[in-house]
């Protein structure tokens, strides 16, 4: 699990880098990357607050087909 704070810090770095970028294509890519990091941070925070139960893991592993 990745610390959401670390992901949000990286998102802020990318957004700051985008502000100084003159090339529109690169600026947009940096902003998309920053948004992706913010989404990952939200997901990690949710996963940390809502860990899977043993029953859910057992069901997931028990339903596997080969």
Does residue 18 form part of some domain?
yes
What was the pLDDT predicted at 48? 86
Whole-number Å distance between alpha carbons of 25 and 32: 11
* Domain extent for 20: 4-50
pTM as predicted: 0.74
Does residue 65 form part of some domain?
no
Whole-number Å distance between alpha carbons of 45 and 5: 9
Does residue 62 form part of some domain?
no
Number of domains the chain is built from: 1
Alpha helices, DSSP H only, in the chain?
4-19, 24-49, 54-62
Does residue 15 form part of some domain?
yes
Q: Which residues in the chain show pLDDT less than 70?
A: 63-66
Does residue 27 form part of some domain?
yes
Whole-number Å distance between alpha carbons of 43 and 12: 17
| 24-to-11, 38, 56 alpha-carbon distances in Å | 18, 21, 45
């Amino acid at each position: 699990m990745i610390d959401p704070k670390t992901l949000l810090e990286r998102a802020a770095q990318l957004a700051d880098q985008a502000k100084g970028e003159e090339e529109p294509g690169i600026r947009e890519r940096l902003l998309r990357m920053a948004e992706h990091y913010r989404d990952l941070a939200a997901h990690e925070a949710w996963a940390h607050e809502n860990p899977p139960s043993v029953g859910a893991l057992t069901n997931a592993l028990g339903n596997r087909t080969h």
